[in-house]
Structure 1
Amino acid sequence: MHRTSHRVVVIGGGYAGTLAANRLRMRADVDVAVVNPRPTFVERIRLHQFVAGTGEATVDYGTLLGEGIELVVDTATRIDTAARTVRLASGRALDYDHVIYAVGSTGAIPSTVPGAADVALHIAEYESAQRLRTRLEALPLAAPVTVVGGGLTGVETAAELAERRRSVTLVCGRELAPSLSGPARRSVARWLSRHGVTVLEAAVVSEVRPDAVVFADGTVRASGLTVWAGGFGVPALAAASGLRTDALGRLLTDETLTSVDDDRVVAAGDAAAPSGQPLRMSCYAAGPLGAQAANTVLSRIAGTDPATLDVAFTGSCVSLGRRAGLRQFARKDDSAVNVYFDGRLGAAYKELTCTWAVSKIRREARRPGSMVWIKGGARPASAAPVAASS
């Protein structure tokens, strides 16, 4: 009987983690376990649909993970780098030769805004999305809903709810959809205006109440439900494990995605900060980062030098309800250009993107090593997290 000799624990079963786990099967002597707190895969880029009741957002792992990969439904609480074990909330410990750190991102509701953490709900994780959906189902249709955050996640959430005839206010700390080009922003603004969304730009929320939102200028607006989509955070696992992180908590790595503290820990997805210059938090980046992380581990097993990070962006897309959307094109460094398309073609492209995000994981399960991506990008020295869903 063939005996596996390399144990890899992938922490996180999202877009990056599942793809990395499947890619590790390029070698027959690698034993892979995926640790994830939920028994099903969450399509985070569909959570706004789930909240509005226009779609579902979970997929059976049995259709995504390749043969032989162990799914451990549990929560990692510590990476013990000295003992080479991942400690779990259940008390179990998993031995490893290598770890792929793919814990993803979470909602970030600031504790500095009175009432926000107690009253508002974010849309970055399935459990919070479930609570939002339940609250919406009980909320009268005419009750005002406030979405805080003018990035792409906030836009998609506001649009989905407006199309369901909700009364929505979208609060933008700066301008609407700042990652888009000027013409594309104006296209989004026109759609929101036609569908009755009140857009407040350069507006700062100073307090969230159960029935209202208070602004820094003293204005009080009624709000039967407040959704916080003002950015993302990351789990604290790396810091709790004694590994160095950036200010947001992302694992600090070199350009091969290897932890600067331990060459047996490799990061992927939203929780990675290569050279302190993270890529935009997005499903778009998750696939290449997952593939690159798996390649790094496989290179270390083979005793060869891992390749350095090379990911280029081509733009982003945003859904505007079920019948419209927008595709923004960008330079390889992720800076927007004045080229986009919208309307039904934009909606079709966004749906294709969501479908492809899962399909490429399944393809990697069937043919490990099949994932390819556009290269030749450059990261700006001040790369910052953007609230974007794609």
Structure 2
Amino acid sequence: MNRTRVVVLGGGYAGTMAANRLLAGPDIDVTVVNPRPAFVERIRLHQHVAGSYRADRSFSDVLGDGIRLIVDTAEAIDAADRRVQLASGTTLRYDYLIYAVGSTGAISSEVPGAAEFAYSISEFEAAQRLVARLDELPEQAPVTVVGGGLTGIEAASELAAHGRTVTLVCGGTLGPSLNDGGRRSVAKALGKLGVQVLEQAAVAAVRADEVVLWDARVLPSALTVWTAGFGVPDLAAASGLATDPLGRLVTDDTLTSVDNPWIVAAGDSVAPSGRPLRMSCQAAIPLGAQAADTVLARLAGTAPAALDQAFTGQCISLGRGFGTVQLARRDDTPVRAFIGGRLAAKVKEAICRATVWGIRREGTKPGSYRWLKGGIRVEATEQEAAV
């Protein structure tokens, strides 16, 4: 009997969930292609940088038995011939491809000096470079975090909790995805940690030792961390597949590429019907499960289900002792209710632990993962607004 070959591009939250869930089907060979040999808990990278948590772990901790891991980078997809060209020169043939390449940190090319002097925190390799730079600096050296979204808030608070002098520069409002109450909770915690928050402060230039704002203010900055904006790899666009303006693969509501029925997508790099969900592990993991379900349905000769998932809110860690949990409607719209303080920190930690546990459990009991449904998909709004 011929076995079905499924190649999963990307070993993040969406890719690992999809790969594990595929083990529920008979006679499927699953291969995960990932550029690094370790699974990265991306939602912990701010802790990794500050030295309070190691964010990388062995794939053997999260992938189910029998899944093949190839440490390599996909350079091109030949959709017509159903093959992937890897950077090593290897060619992988597939019957189905799950495109889960994730997102990247986008440092503005329009702000002079940003690409040269600013550091990203969105990917493991970038976080490692940031760790090395922090190790070179005295504790009192001023640090500037650019971007008032959740990534910037968590990075600023974690660094401040470890004794760093931090200024958080927000291109607009602090925490634009939060309700007023949740925003006040975050601002209060940042104040206790000594973080100076500058709202409506656009960055004009980044230099080796300072940040220049459009109103001519100059901030001393021995280290600048850039968290304003996300991008996606250009693999889909470079391979001639339909993408949205950011480069996310455009699919129908079954997460199937509008160009090719053998390509299914999940995570930050997919735009279902051209309307992407908010970039987050909260969205990526259910998307990974549904991408796998689409493949399994097609193999079983049944119609795949349309995308159906919902949000519950946003969890923000503010150092190790405090946090804010912004509750939301299922369509991801924030409501007035929130949880703050030490309880919120415990909730955030429990969710971080449960995230890995859920992926691991799917690898040992494929098909066991469940997610919240009934949400209305809304067009993504970039939390990390451009400065």
| TM-score bracket, shorter-length normalisation | over 0.9
Q: Is the 8 A contact 2:176 2:383 kept in 1?
A: no
Give the aligned residue type for 1:385. E
SS in 1 for 2:23: helix
Amino acid in the other structure paired with 2:161: E
User: What residue number does 2:380 align with?
Assistant: 383
Q: Is the 8 A contact 2:205 2:211 kept in 1?
A: yes
Within a 5 Å distance, the mapping from 1:124-143 to structure 2 comes to 124-143=122-141
Q: After TM superposition, which residue ranges in structure 1, 4 or more long, deviate above 6 angstroms?
A: none
Q: Residue 99 of structure 1 aligns to a residue in which SS? A: strand
Gaps of at least 5 residues in structure 2 are none
Indicate the residue corresponding to 1:331 in structure 2.
329
RMSD over equivalenced CA pairs, Å: 1.0
The answer for the alignment partner of 2:176 in structure 1 is 178
The AA in structure 1 aligned to 2:275 is Q
- 1:4 deviates by 4.9
CA distance in 1, matches of 2:140, 2:361: 44
* One-letter code aligned to 1:216: W
Work out which of the residue numbers 63, 71, 74 in structure 2 matches 1:73.
71
1:276 counterpart residue number: 274
Secondary structure of the 1:133 match is helix
- Structure 1 residue 201: Cα displacement: 0.4
1:53 is matched with 51
**Offset from partner CA, 1:142-163 (integer Å, 9 cap, x none):** 1110000000110000000111
Structure 1 residues 157-181: Cα deviation after superposition (integer angstroms, max 9, x where no partner) = 0000111111100011110011111
TM-score, length basis structure 2: 0.98
Residues 217-366 of structure 1: pairs in structure 2 closer than 5 A: 217-366=215-364
Shift of 1:343: 1.1
Q: Which residue is equivalent to 1:104?
A: 102
CA contact (8 A) 1:278 1:384 kept: no
Cα distance between partner residues in 2 of 1:385 and 1:89: 31
Letter in 2 for 1:180: L
Looking at structure 2, the residues matched to 68 and 52 of structure 1 have their Cα atoms a distance apart, in angstroms, of: 35
Write out per-residue CA displacement over residues 277-303 of structure 1, whole angstroms, 9 at most, x where no aligned residue: 110000111110000000011111122
Is the Cα–Cα contact under 8 Å of residues 281 and 387 in structure 1 kept in the other structure? Answer: no
| Shift, 1:387, TM fit | 4.0
Give yes or no for contact 1:326–1:341 (8 Å, CA) kept in 2: yes
CA distance in 2, matches of 1:385, 1:220: 27
Q: Which residue of 1 aligns with 2:113?
A: 115
- Percent identity between the aligned chains? 62
Q: Distance in 2 between matches of 1:292 and 1:158?
A: 34
Partner of 2:31, secondary structure, is strand
State the SS of the aligned residue for 2:6: strand
TM-score, with length taken from structure 1: 0.97
Give the whole-Å Cα distance in 2 for the aligned partners of 1:170 and 1:249.
Answer: 29
Structure 1 residue 386: deviation in Å?
2.6
Structure 1 residues 199-231: Cα deviation after superposition (integer angstroms, max 9, x where no partner) = 010111011000000111121111000000012
